[in-house]
């Protein structure tokens, strides 16, 4: 087989089509099957004639703007067409490609896509990260074998972004949606969220009241919004000049009025969302000496982060409202302490500045008009979200139910009543959750049968906890539930507690009498405990700087995640002392949140600083990832710095100072601990006083099998086991550079007394972890070694899990087969891919048996608040198993 491999140097910017034509002529004459023209600087590609022998054409990673690619008829054997990350603006395929399997057009600048008849073998179509404005609704009808379609980060207007914005394969959802609207009666959602943010007593509730009824009385001074209130505001006969529709429409704005009290902020952020209109409200008397005052940067940064629409790469619009201009201080325009131009330069998403008086209604019509004019800026498709009429009947019936919540089965019965099939039922539930109409915890095993119809029900229940006066230093006792939630049933008590645990507002622990109790970090006292470690116990001072803002309650959630690592119960408002005790060596960390300056400070001291730092850092990153995935935001991150002298320095600055080696554990990869981190004699004496003796002999050896997506929980378990004198092998620590992974796994299973397998939906889809499970569960190559399965989620108990998992595995096998064929065409080695293929094939063959054996075996549950109790069982089982 002949082959052309043309790779033109980046400096060759004067390449013209005559040179390109010669390449195509050579490919034709030599009957080339693989043509690689990637990583060049073409500005236009016009293939002049057919290349009937070509099987693979790679035009990816083009470095210049590629205005157009034209491909003529006659590519009858082409199987793979790769044109990703090529700055491509337009593609024209003039003829059929009957053998085409994969068309990869991701990460370009395409505004449209069209395929004629003759693509009957196309299986995979990548279109994500383009500029597609419309998806051809009949395209999929011409692709009978299509199995994979990706569309995220495209401004598509004829399919709701709640569908297209999902990462990965959206084929099923797109097919379900199109099937539901084509030839059916439809209607438009015409609804969005209006979120009022700002400090307390600035007039947010007054704005809401006057929008609903200008004649309604204003609230009294002591009638403050209890954290959050929701009301529906309908704009009647919206001007077509705003909506770009042919006729006036009624448009509903769901007003979310956030109270300004500080203790509620951790709850409020869960109700922020992209594709919303934010009203930041301040007033002439909104001064720094007021209770719970926060600067404008916090509120506008919060709106920027939570209001960012990743799909359309745009921020939600903000209207900046100054209230109370009827006060004497405003006479002649005085009393305003900000410059609108400077504020807009800092926050470009501010559309308009409006100055009003809710008392006299001065300029209130201007505010109303500003709201109407801002609606198209929420999202292009805010007036175009079209759904099947039967789906709206489901929504209407749910609205009319006099229930705070229903079961998943009740929801499915309502959908069945109105003619929705299973796929439509699932998709509509997902959409209603994403637009904030209801709340559904699809990933939570204890709540996945529970659908909240009224978000205020959750808010009110949590606020009852926050406002309950008998809670001392955050300790929520079970006997309080009947008083706090006296109007709720015992079943609802459990659901509400599960909700608080799911939201990480509290964690479970036992008191000194062995009785269960719950700690709410948001209600800890401000006073620092008296017996804190001394400053000299710490050798390092690190800070994590958040941008554009720090999510409220970050350290509170860190305490929830790491409650087993809180040292001697030392915790106070937004702060705690964390510890590790590895092989009888104590390491401490003081963690403090400074939310006003968007910083978390961490001081570290002891002999295992790197391990404790990594635990804290990975947990903070995990909390960020949770927010990014659940709130669909992307522009939120943190930067780490270390204090040297009186100033904090980032990685580059530390290296410029020539001190990179001293902080390898902070900035390096697996660097050793600097001498400064070694224990002082004072600390050793303190450990002795606390009953921590010399390092003892470790007899028990455990190998932790886990998926890398579950890395943080694996490290947490490792530290817990080591604190109990158990030696742990984990790949990120014990595996040598260059060591064969298969050999490492087999040796770990053989050479350790016990294998602890972390079972999750992630691990069961991991070919590596599955190999460990195969070795153990099927009794191969392990002799009498002990296996302890523990569950960190319970998805595998679902009836559909095996089928869904096998669909994923079979897709992976198909993708590997395609890459193997590509390698063979290039006459390249495929050993690494054969290993992957072997593992996934083994997983496919063994997965049903593995899941069945897991269901039949005594797995230990360490998910969520079961962690402490589950770890005690694991440690007991390990110790018994080696005696």
The pLDDT value recorded for residue 5 is 46
696 located within any domain: no
* One domain for residues 640 and 557: yes
pTM of the predicted structure, to 2 decimals: 0.70
400-411 confidence digits (pLDDT tens): 998 999 999 999
Dihedral over Cα of 712, 715, 719, 721: its sign:
positive
Q: Which of 332, 359, 383 is the last residue of a domain?
A: 383
Residue 326 or 725, more confident: 326
User: Strands 4-5, 34-36: parallel, antiparallel or unpaired by DSSP?
Assistant: parallel
What do you get for the CA distance between the two ends of the chain, in Å? 64
* One domain for residues 254 and 295: yes
pLDDT confidence tier of residue 312, bands split at 50, 70 and 90: low
60-75 confidence digits (pLDDT tens): 988 889 999 999 999 9
Residue 242 CB neighbour total at 10 angstroms: 18
What is d(CA 743, CA 723) in angstroms, rounded to the nearest whole number?
28
| CATH assignment of the domain containing 499 | 1.10.10.2200
200-254 confidence digits (pLDDT tens): 889 999 999 999 999 999 987 766 656 578 899 999 999 999 998 899 999 999 9
Do residues 256 and 316 lie in contact, with contact meaning Cβ atoms separated by under 8 Å? no
527-546 confidence digits (pLDDT tens): 999 899 999 999 999 999 99
The pLDDT value recorded for residue 652 is 87
User: Strands 637-644, 540-547: parallel, antiparallel or unpaired by DSSP?
Assistant: antiparallel
* One domain for residues 364 and 459: no
Span of 16-30, 170-184, 483-497, 499-513 with lowest mean pLDDT: 16-30
Does 740 score more than 60 pLDDT? no
Torsion on CA atoms 23, 24, 30, 31, rounded to nearest 10: 150
Residue 829 CB neighbour total at 10 angstroms: 10
Span of 209-213, 721-725, 791-795 with lowest mean pLDDT: 721-725
Residue 45 or 722, more confident: 45
Span of 191-200, 225-234, 630-639 with lowest mean pLDDT: 630-639
* One domain for residues 604 and 684: yes
566 located within any domain: yes
User: Strands 102-104, 314-315: parallel, antiparallel or unpaired by DSSP?
Assistant: unpaired
The secondary structure of 122-184 as a DSSP string is: --EEE--SS------TTGGGG-TT--EEE--S---SSS-HHHHTSSS--HHHHHHHHHHHTTS
What is d(CA 145, CA 102) in angstroms, rounded to the nearest whole number?
11
* One domain for residues 205 and 308: yes
453-492 confidence digits (pLDDT tens): 988 888 888 889 988 999 999 999 999 999 999 999 999 9
* One domain for residues 669 and 772: no
Q: Which of 383, 408, 427 is the last residue of a domain?
A: 383
602 located within any domain: yes
695 located within any domain: no
| CATH assignment of the domain containing 125 | 3.80.10.10
* % of the chain beyond a pLDDT of 70: 85
* One domain for residues 588 and 632: yes
Does 357 score more than 90 pLDDT? yes
The pLDDT value recorded for residue 811 is 80
pLDDT confidence tier of residue 354, bands split at 50, 70 and 90: very high
529 located within any domain: no
* One domain for residues 176 and 42: yes
pLDDT confidence tier of residue 633, bands split at 50, 70 and 90: low
Q: Which of 500, 523, 546 is the last residue of a domain?
A: 523
* One domain for residues 710 and 824: yes
636 located within any domain: yes
801 located within any domain: yes
Does 332 score more than 70 pLDDT? no
* One domain for residues 254 and 149: no
| CATH assignment of the domain containing 671 | 3.30.310.200
Contacts of 488 (CB under 8 A, 6+ apart): 461, 496
What is d(CA 856, CA 870) in angstroms, rounded to the nearest whole number?
18
* One domain for residues 428 and 329: no
What is d(CA 613, CA 666) in angstroms, rounded to the nearest whole number?
8
pLDDT confidence tier of residue 195, bands split at 50, 70 and 90: very high
Average confidence (pLDDT) over 601-625: 91
The pLDDT value recorded for residue 83 is 95
- Sequence length of the chain is 883
| Most confident stretch, 187-196, 813-822, 848-857 | 187-196
**Tokens of residue 409, six digits:** 């089965």
Average confidence (pLDDT) over 411-431: 96
Do residues 592 and 565 lie in contact, with contact meaning Cβ atoms separated by under 8 Å? no
Under DSSP, is residue 391 helix (H, G, I), strand (E, B) or coil? helix
Range of the domain at 308: 190-383
Q: Where are the beta strands (DSSP E) in 180-227?
A: 186-188, 191-197
Torsion on CA atoms 714, 716, 717, 720, rounded to nearest 10: 160
Half-sphere CA count of 788, side-chain side, radius 13 A: 26
| Most confident stretch, 1-5, 23-27, 378-382 | 23-27
* One domain for residues 369 and 411: no
The pLDDT value recorded for residue 672 is 37
Give the count of domains, the chain: 5
Contacts of 669 (CB under 8 A, 6+ apart): none
Average confidence (pLDDT) over 820-845: 74
| Most confident stretch, 557-566, 648-657, 710-719 | 557-566
Which helix (H) or strand (E) covers residue 791, if one does?
A: strand 786-791
Do residues 574 and 323 lie in contact, with contact meaning Cβ atoms separated by under 8 Å? no
528 located within any domain: no
Residue 774 or 552, more confident: 552
């Amino acid at each position: 087989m002949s082959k052309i491999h043309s790779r033109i140097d980046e400096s060759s910017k004067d390449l013209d089509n005559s040179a390109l034509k010669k390449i195509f002529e050579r490919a034709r004459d030599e009957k080339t099957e693989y043509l690689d023209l990637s990583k060049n600087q073409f500005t236009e590609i016009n293939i002049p004639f057919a290349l009937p022998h070509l099987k693979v054409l790679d035009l990816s990673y083009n470095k210049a703007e590629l205005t157009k690619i034209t491909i003529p008829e006659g590519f009858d054997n082409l199987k793979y067409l790769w044109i990703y990350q090529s700055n491509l603006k337009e593609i024209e395929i003039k003829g059929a490609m009957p053998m085409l399997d994969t068309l990869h057009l991701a990460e370009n600048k395409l505004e449209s896509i069209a395929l004629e008849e003759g693509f009957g073998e196309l299986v995979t179509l990548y279109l994500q990260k383009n500029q597609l404005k419309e998806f051809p609704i009949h395209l999929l009808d011409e692709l009978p074998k299509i199995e994979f379609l990706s569309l995220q980060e495209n401004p598509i207007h004829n399919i709701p972004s709640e569908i297209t914005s999902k990462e990965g394969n959206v084929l099923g959802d797109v097919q379900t949606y199109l099937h539901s609207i084509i030839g059916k009666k439809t209607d438009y959602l015409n609804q969005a969220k209006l979120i009022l943010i700002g400090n307390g007593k600035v007039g947010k509730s007054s704005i809401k009241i006057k929008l609903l009824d200008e004649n309604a009385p204003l609230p009294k001074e002591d009638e403050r919004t209890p954290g959050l209130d929701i009301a529906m505001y309908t704009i009647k006969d919206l001007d077509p000049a705003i909506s770009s529709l042919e006729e006036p429409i009624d448009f509903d704005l769901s007003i979310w009025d956030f109270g300004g009290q500080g203790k509620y902020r951790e709850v409020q952020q869960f109700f922020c969302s992209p594709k919303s209109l934010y009203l930041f409200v301040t007033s002439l008397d909104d001064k720094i000496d007021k209770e719970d005052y926060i600067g404008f940067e916090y509120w506008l940064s919060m709106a920027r982060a939570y209001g960012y629409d990743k799909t359309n790469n745009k921020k939600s619009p903000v209207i900046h409202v100054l209230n109370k201009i009827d006060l004497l201080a405003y006479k002649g325009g005085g009393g305003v302490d900000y410059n609108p131009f400077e504020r807009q330069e800092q926050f470009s998403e501010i559309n308009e500045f409006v100055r009003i008086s809710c008392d006299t209604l001065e300029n209130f019509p201007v505010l109303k008009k500003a709201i109407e004019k801002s609606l198209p800026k929420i999202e292009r498709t805010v007036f175009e979200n079209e759904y099947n009429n039967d789906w709206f009947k489901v929504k209407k019936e749910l609205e009319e139910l006099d229930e705070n919540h229903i079961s998943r089965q009740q929801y499915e019965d309502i959908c069945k009543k109105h003619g929705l099939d299973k796929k439509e039922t699932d998709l509509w539930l997902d959409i209603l959750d994403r637009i904030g109409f209801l709340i559904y915890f699809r990933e939570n095993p204890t709540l996945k049968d529970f659908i909240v119809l009224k978000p205020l029900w959750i808010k009110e229940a949590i606020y009852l906890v926050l406002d309950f006066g008998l809670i001392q230093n955050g300790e929520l006792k079970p006997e309080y539930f009947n008083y706090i939630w006296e109007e709720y049933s015992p079943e609802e008590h459990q659901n509400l507690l599960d909700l608080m645990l799911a939201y990480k507002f509290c964690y479970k622990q036992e008191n000194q009498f062995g009785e269960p109790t719950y700690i709410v970090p948001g209600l800890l006292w401000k006073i620092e405990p008296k017996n804190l470690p001394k400053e000299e116990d710490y050798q390092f001072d690190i800070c994590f700087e958040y941008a554009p803002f720090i999510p409220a309650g970050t350290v509170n959630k860190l305490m929830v995640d790491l409650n087993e690592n809180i040292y001697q119960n030392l915790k106070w408002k937004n702060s705690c002392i964390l510890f590790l005790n590895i092989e009888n060596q104590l390491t401490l960390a003081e963690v403090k949140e400074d939310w006003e300056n968007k910083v978390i400070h961490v001081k570290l001291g002891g002999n295992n600083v790197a391990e404790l730092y990594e635990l804290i850092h990975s947990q903070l990153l995990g909390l960020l990832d949770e927010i990014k995935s659940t709130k669909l935001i992307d522009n939120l991150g943190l930067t780490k710095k270390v204090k040297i002298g009186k100033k904090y320095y980032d990685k580059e600055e530390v290296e410029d100072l020539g001190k990179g080696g001293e902080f390898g554990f902070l900035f390096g990869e697996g660097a050793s601990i600097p001498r400064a981190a070694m224990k002082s004699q004072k600390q050793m004496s303190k450990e002795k006083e606390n009953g921590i003796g010399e390092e003892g002999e470790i007899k028990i050896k455990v190998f932790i099998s886990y998926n890398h997506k579950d890395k943080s929980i694996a490290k947490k378990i490792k530290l817990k086991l080591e604190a109990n004198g158990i030696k742990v092998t984990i790949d990120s620590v014990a595996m040598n550079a260059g060591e064969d992974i298969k050999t490492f796994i087999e040796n770990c299973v053989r050479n350790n007394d016990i294998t602890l397998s972390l079972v999750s939906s992630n691990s069961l889809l991991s070919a590596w972890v599955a190999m460990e499970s195969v070795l153990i569960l099927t009794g191969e190559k392990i002799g009498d070694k002990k296996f302890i399965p523990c569950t960190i989620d319970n998805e595998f108990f679902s009836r559909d899990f095996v089928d869904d998992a096998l669909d994923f595995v079979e897709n992976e096998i198909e993708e590997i087969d395609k890459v193997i064929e590509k390698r063979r065409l290039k006459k390249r080695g495929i050993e690494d891919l054969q290993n992957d293929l072997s593992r996934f094939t083994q997983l496919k063959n063994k997965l049903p048996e593995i899941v069945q054996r897991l269901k039949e075996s005594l797995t230990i549950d360490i998910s969520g608040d079961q962690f402490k109790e589950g770890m005690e069982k694991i440690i007991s089982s390990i110790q018994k198993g080696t005696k």
